[in-house]
Chain A
Amino acid sequence: MPIVIENLTYTYQTGSVNAFTALKDISLTIEDGEFVGLIGHTGSGKSTLIQQLNGLMQPTSGRVTVDGFDMNDKKQRKSGRALVGMVFQYPDYQLFDETVYKDISFGPKNLKLDEAEIDRRVREAMRLVGLDFDEFAEKSPFELSGGEKRRTALAGIIAMYPKYLVLDEPMAGLDPSGRKAVLEMIEGFRKQLGCAVVMVSHSMDDIARSAEKVVVLRSGEIFKMGTPREIFSMADELNEMGLEPPFAARMAASLRRGGIDLPHGLYTNEALVDALEAWKRGEKHV
């Protein structure tokens, strides 16, 4: 069953003079196994929204159900929360245990699994994130490089076998090859574990590459929802909202303004080049 958000409104400091409504009447379904990209300007409500997905925050009005569990209900919330793996920004700063092994096993231990199952999951998670067991299991997290810390933090979450993996800017601060590796890893878990992924990112290029559905938040409301193709066709609107569309989409918009009538929905350099080649051959867009 999916995560269903129905008419969710969230107000910070309800009733006080500082009351601030961060989310307004949000309705959204995250289907099983789906990859959803969540984008929006700083302050648009992205972080508030993802914290509703595992019940860290509860709606002021409206309802969130995770796999049928009503997150407004205290008892059901616990069951729902166990299905949602949250990875916050800069998870590398959240490592705390003496060894990589202990850090990754922390979550599975809390699930009250037996030792053998915990060990199996830690090994599997380390393999999935590309950390060699013999080399890293007994290392202190503090001896690791930035990229290795990020992998350890991700391994700790996936060892809990989340049905839904929620990630807030998982690639922030990594170099280009690190970004690519983490994104490929996330795509890999999704295939292997069959989990749904909700990813918040400022990088439209990363969203364009991986997401099946893109949700655009603006001032606490869903401004638009659609396939990357539909969303990134609106290069000018995104720009106005302070979101930078993928490079190829901005380029296509600029070329259209210059008089080359390219089709809509181009957001990778490869697709753009294909379209330009077709245009040059005379197969002009109709």
Chain B
Amino acid sequence: MLSIKNVSFTYDSGTPALENVSLDIREGEFLCIVGHNGSGKSTLAKMLNGLLLPTEGAVIVDGMDTADDDRLLDIRRRVGIVFQNPDNQIVTTVVREDVAFGPENLGIPTEEMIVRVDEALKSVGMESYAESAPHMLSGGQKQRIAIAGMLAMEPNVLVLDEATAMLDPYGRRDILKIVHELHEKKGITVVMITQYMEEALGAERVIVMNSGHIEMEGTPQEVFARGDELRKIGLDVPAAIELRELLKERNIADLGNAMTLEEISEGLCRSLLKI
């Protein structure tokens, strides 16, 4: 449904950010893009709804080219992006109005808009804040409002461009949980761009960016099995996987594909206590 074809992009300053990147994003998939600062991952995100246009190549959303001005509104309705800084994404003084801002611009009739806004706020667990002032909310709550604003436009694809980077661990966990719920319950396609390797564990597919190109691609299991290569390009493996590898190396336990704290803890107890 979203196709990136041989895309290259160079900023006005002359810095190349993407070099011949091709990637198909499937409908309903949960995709995670990781990479170090400056690897091109955020540039790639901005390509997905035409905020940036390729210098070479094309980005096609549901058959529409992002370079086609006439289709841009349709494209942005389908692909919503939530950015890193919660404070830069709030435009009004009441939460409800903020969430309504996008659909209003799409010309949605008022009655339907009210339904959509209520629904969107409910999806992110913020319905009781509908009449609050956004600037009084925590960073994590602001990001939930930003997500609700996107949901109210009923997009097919939700792109999170390091949307958790400025949040504390609990705010981050909340957002992650909400995004997974939206994916499971509403079937929304999720493209999550992040520097936190832990966040990629729950994805169906992981893309690793490095110096403007795709360096690796696979399931979290496949990608994180290549710890040495990841470290070479400034990334890391999640602590759970690092522990699993250490346990295997030192002949304490072979826990197979365990990826989470719970799986490893359970596996270890079973193996060491011989239950």
Contacts and interface: CB of A to CB of B under 8 A. Distances in A.
A269 interface: yes
A269 B234 contact: no
Contact of B38 (A146, A242, A277): A146
A143 B14 CA distance: 11
Interface string A2-42: 00000000000000000000000000000000000000011
B133 interface: no
Given A147-B37, A173-B165, A273-B246, A254 B170 contact: no
Contacts, number: 99
Interface string A125-154: 000000000000000000101110000000
Interface in B237-264: 239-240, 242-243, 246-247, 250, 252, 261-262, 264
Given A145-B37, A176-B195, A248-B239, A258 B250 contact: no
A178 B239 contact: no
Contact of A269 (B171, B195, B243): B243
Interface string B52-72: 000000000000000000000
B144 to A, nearest CB: 15
Interface stretch (B75-83, B119-127, B218-226, B267-275): B267-275
A172 B37 contact: no
B252 A258 contact: no
A272 interface: yes
| Residues of A in contact with B, size category | 35 or more
A260 B222 CA distance: 30
Contacts of A255: 265, 268-269
A175 interface: yes
Interface residues of B, number: 38
Contacts of A205: 239
A173 B240 CA distance: 22
Given A248-B243, A272-B243, A276-B247, A146 B268 contact: no
B169 interface: yes
A244 B265 contact: no
A81 B173 CA distance: 38
Nearest to B236: A176
B195 to A, nearest CB: 5
B235 A176 contact: yes
A11 B35 CA distance: 43
A260 B272 contact: yes
A283 interface: no
B46 interface: no
B166 interface: yes
Contact of B169 (A146, A202, A277): A202
A175 B234 contact: yes
B258 to A, nearest CB: 11
A106 interface: no
Given A251-B264, A258-B266, A273 B234 contact: no
Contacts of B162: 173
Given A247-B261, A251-B265, A175 B246 contact: no
Interface string A182-210: 00000000000000000000100100000
B271 to A, nearest CB: 10
B216 to A, nearest CB: 15
A2 B247 CA distance: 43
Contact of A259 (B197, B246, B273): B273
Given A146-B37, A176-B234, A258 B265 contact: yes
B169 A177 contact: no
Contacts of A243: 169
B37 A174 contact: yes
A14 B230 CA distance: 52
9 contacts: A172-B165, A173-B165, A175-B35, A254-B261, A254-B265, A255-B265, A260-B273, A269-B242, A276-B247
User: Which are the 5 A-B pairs with shortest beta-carbon distances?
Assistant: A177-B234, A247-B239, A258-B269, A176-B236, A175-B36
Given A173-B162, A178-B36, A248-B239, 11 more contacts: A41-B168, A42-B168, A43-B138, A146-B37, A175-B234, A176-B197, A254-B265, A269-B239, A269-B243, A276-B247, A280-B272
Interface of A: 41-43, 143, 145-147, 172-178, 202, 205, 242-244, 247-248, 250-251, 254-255, 258-260, 269-270, 272-273, 276-277, 279-280
